[in-house]
């Protein structure tokens, strides 16, 4: 049997009827039986589902947002399918199940678990539409529920993979199907040992593709994006960018760690361990070379700019005229761990610990609540963290202009700047 290839299509590549037609075009030239097609929710569906959940949590009316969600998906299908196609009853069924889930009593306590059960509908619906549309186009593909494959713990919203089970599931459920036809499945979602739906963290579909690639010992994994490949900066934020035709796993992993959103940070490791190349290619220009990430053991020295938005800088100051000691750091980190808050930058001075992290609605409040009695706490919101890898002097200076700078750190190879654009 030929080796498997895994293709991952993100939200932007399935965001409307034209995008789906383009996806079918890409696959028409490349579709062989041994291909797994991993899809995300369509367009901004995950954000919309999150908005609905948050409205519900605050006991606000979400019916308008829900109606938008429904008409968005039905609208796409009306453009793509004949009136009497079965996709419409499939959709109706999906939305009935979603409405049932939305009836549940939602609180801060069960938020994560309910979140996974509801947000996963984005991927379930999208994968059904993609599967039916490909079949309609004469590209016969099978559908696979990712929850039968991706086995996780019950760390809702940030579920960890049970690799052994997942590997077995791939052999059991995917392999036999792939011997006959290509298979469409969902990114981002999995199930715990009780069969409850879990999710792998926002933008986790890339990771799903890597997991499946690794478990099937695929010959490659390809992520189809709206950019030409991996660039040295986000083209939406920087006017001049350079494409990396190839990158070593390590350099790519480091970029994702600092926040390069082109690939999910967890994607590289399983592929690097198995020596499976990862291609990042443009769905707008599918024949262009894109980027190949594999073991080349050399670093490309071009200055690389990575921005993490929506950052909070918080400082914990000791109040009793002592200095910062290990115990203070331990206390802060213990709470961060409990609340699943990840630190992107850390600075310790004589009397305070400063942390930069992603803004996370109520877990941040909880952190402040729990540590208020120990420290004097101050924070700034709405910041961005810029990391420059292999920086050049001029490039650093130019990144300071027009910004208020809150924190700066540098090593030989990396400069990090926490900043906010001046009003
Ligand atoms: N739909 C999910 C999200 O937007 C997963 C993904 O797109 O990779 O976070
Ligand atoms: Mg997405």
Q: Looking at residue 1, what is its pLDDT?
A: 59
User: Residues 71-90: pLDDT tens digits?
Assistant: 999 999 999 999 999 999 99
**Ligand 1 pocket test target in 8, 10, 11, 189 with most atoms within 8 Å of CB:** 11
Query: Given ligand 1 and candidates 47, 157, 202, which is best to mutate, with the most ligand atoms within 8 Å of its CB?
Result: 202
Q: Of all residues in the chain, what percent carry a pLDDT higher than 90?
A: 91
- Is pLDDT at 139 greater than 80 in this prediction? yes
Q: Is the pLDDT of residue 156 over 80?
A: yes
- By C-alpha distance, which of 318, 376, 314, 315 is closest to 351? 318
Ligand 1 atom nearest 47 alpha carbon: 4
Q: Ligand 1 atom 5: the closest Cα is on which residue? A: 203
Q: Which ligand 1 atom is the nearest neighbour of the CA of 264?
A: 8
Question: Which of 295, 255, 292 shows the shortest CA–CA distance to 274?
Answer: 295
Residue 31 pLDDT class (50, 70, 90 cuts): confident
- Tell me how far the alpha carbon of residue 203 lies from the centroid of ligand 2, in angstroms: 5
Please give the pLDDT value at position 398.
86
Asked if the model's pLDDT at residue 379 lies above 80, the reply is: yes
Contact present, 193 and 151 (Cβ < 8 Å): yes
Task: Tell me how far apart the alpha carbons of residues 300 and 298 are, in angstroms, rounded to a whole number.
Answer: 7
Report how far ligand 1's centroid is from the alpha carbon of 39 (Å).
9
CATH architecture of 5-225: 3-Layer(aba) Sandwich (3.40)
Segment 127-148 mean pLDDT: 97
Ligand 1, atom 8, residue with closest C-alpha: 203
Q: Name the residue with the closest Cα to ligand 1, atom 3.
A: 203
Do 389 and 380 form a contact (C-beta atoms < 8 A)?
no
Domain parsing of the chain, residue ranges = 5-225, 304-421
Secondary structure string (H, E, C) spanning the chain: CCCCEEEEECHHHHCCHHHHHHHHHHHHHHCCCCEEEEECCCCCHHHHHHHHHHHHHCCCCCHHHHHHHHHHHHHHHHHHCCCCCCHHHHHHHHHHHHHHHHCCCCCCCCHHHHHHHHHCHHHHHHHHHHHHHHHHCCCCCEEECHHHCCEECCCCCCCCECHHHHHHHHHHHHHHHHCCCCEEEECCEEECCCCCEEECCCCCHHHHHHHHHHHCCCCEEEEEECCCCCECCCCCCCCCCCECCEEEHHHHHHHHHHCCCCCCCCCHHHHHHHCCCEEEEECCCCCCCCEEEECCCCCCCCCEEEEEEEEEEEEEEECCCCCCCHHHHHHHHHHHHHCCCCEEEEEECCCEEEEEEECCHHHHHHHHHHHCCCEEEEEEEEEEEEEEECCCHHHHHHCCCCEEEEEEEECCCEEEEEEEECC
Residue 47 CA, ligand 2 centroid: distance in Å: 8
Q: How confident is the model at residue 29 (pLDDT cuts 50, 70, 90)?
A: confident
Q: Do 5-225 and 304-421 agree at the fold level?
A: no
Task: Tell me what the mean pLDDT of segment 337-364 comes to.
Answer: 92
Q: Are strands 375-389 and 414-421 parallel, antiparallel or unpaired?
A: antiparallel
pLDDT at 2 over 80: no
Q: Could you give the angle at the alpha carbon of 148 between the alpha carbons of 6 and 27, nearest 5°?
A: 25
pLDDT in tens, 355-371: 999 998 778 999 999 99
Question: Which tens digit of pLDDT belongs to each residue from 225-270?
Answer: 999 999 999 998 998 999 999 999 999 999 999 999 899 999 999 9
Ligand 1 binding pocket mutation candidate from 8, 73, 204, 256 (most atoms within 8 A of CB): 204
| Cα–Cα separations (whole angstroms), residue 398 to 83, 389, 395 | 56, 15, 5
Give the chain's mean pLDDT: 95
Ligand nearest the Cα of residue 267 is 1
Give the predicted TM-score (pTM) of the model. 0.92
Average pLDDT over residues 186-208: 97
How many CB atoms lie under 10 A from the CB of residue 90? 16
Alpha carbon of 40 to ligand 2 centroid (Å): 6
Residue with tokens 């990042």: 280
- The better pLDDT of the pair 390, 1 is held by 390
Q: Which ligand neighbours the alpha carbon of 205 most closely?
A: 1
Residues enclosing ligand 1, CB less than 6 A? 10-11, 40-41, 46, 122, 187-188, 202-205
Task: Output the CA 311–ligand 1 centroid distance in Å.
Answer: 20
> Which of ligand 1's atoms lies nearest the C-alpha of 203?
8
113: left (phi over 0), alpha (psi -120 to 50) or beta: alpha
Identify which ligand lies nearest to the alpha carbon of 116. 1
Cβ atoms of 405 and 418 closer than 8 Å: yes
Q: How confident is the model at residue 319 (pLDDT cuts 50, 70, 90)?
A: confident
Instruction: Enter the CATH code of domain 304-421.
Output: 3.30.2130.10
pLDDT tens-digit readout, 166-193: 999 999 999 999 999 999 999 999 999 9
Q: What is the mean pLDDT of residues 206-221?
A: 98
Percent of the chain with pLDDT over 70: 100
- For residue 46, pLDDT over 90 is answered with yes
**Ligand closest to the CA atom of residue 47:** 1
């Amino acid at each position: 049997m030929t080796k498997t290839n895994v293709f991952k299509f993100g939200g932007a590549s399935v965001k409307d009827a034209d995008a789906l037609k383009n996806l079918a075009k890409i696959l028409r030239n490349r579709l062989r039986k041994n291909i797994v097609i991993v899809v995300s929710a369509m367009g901004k569906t995950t954000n919309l589902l999150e908005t609905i959940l948050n409205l519900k949590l605050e006991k606000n009316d979400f019916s308008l947002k829900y109606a938008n969600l429904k008409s968005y998906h039905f609208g796409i299908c009306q453009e793509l399918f004949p009136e009497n196609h079965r996709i419409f009853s499939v959709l109706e069924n999906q939305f009935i199940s979603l409405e049932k889930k939305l009836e549940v009593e939602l609180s801060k306590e069960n938020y994560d678990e309910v979140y996974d059960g509801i947000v996963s509908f984005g991927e379930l619906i999208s994968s059904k539409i993609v599967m039916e549309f490909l079949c309609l186009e004469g590209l016969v593909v099978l559908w696979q529920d990712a929850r039968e494959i991706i086995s996780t713990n019950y760390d809702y919203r940030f579920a960890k993979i049970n690799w052994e089970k997942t590997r077995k599931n791939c052999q059991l459920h995917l392999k036999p199907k792939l011997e006959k036809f290509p298979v469409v499945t969902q990114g981002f979602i999995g199930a715990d040992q009780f069969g409850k739906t879990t999710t792998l963290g926002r933008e986790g579909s890339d990771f799903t593709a890597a997991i499946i690639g690794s478990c099937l010992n695929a010959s490659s994994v390809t992520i189809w994006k709206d950019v030409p490949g991996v660039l040295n900066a986000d083209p939406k934020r920087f006017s001049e960018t350079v494409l990396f035709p190839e990158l070593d796993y390590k350099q790519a992993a480091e970029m994702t760690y600092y926040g390069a959103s082109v690939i999910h940070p967890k994607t590289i490791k399983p592929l690097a361990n198995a020596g499976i190349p990862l291609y990042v290619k443009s769905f707008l220009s599918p024949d262009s070379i894109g980027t190949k990430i594999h073991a080349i053991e050399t670093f490309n020295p071009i200055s690389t700019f990575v921005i993490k938005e929506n950052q909070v800088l918080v400082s914990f100051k000791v109040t009793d005229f002592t200095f910062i000691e290990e115990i203070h750091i331990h206390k802060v980190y213990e709470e961060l761990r409990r609340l699943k808050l990840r630190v992107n930058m850390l600075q310790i001075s004589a009397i305070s610990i400063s942390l930069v992290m992603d803004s996370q609605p109520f877990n941040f409040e909880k952190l402040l609540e729990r540590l208020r009695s120990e420290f004097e706490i101050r924070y700034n919101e709405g910041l961005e963290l810029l990391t420059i890898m292999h920086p050049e002097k001029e490039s650093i200076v130019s990144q300071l202009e027009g910004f208020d700078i809150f924190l700066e750190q540098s090593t030989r190879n990396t400069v990090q700047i926490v900043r906010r654009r001046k009003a």
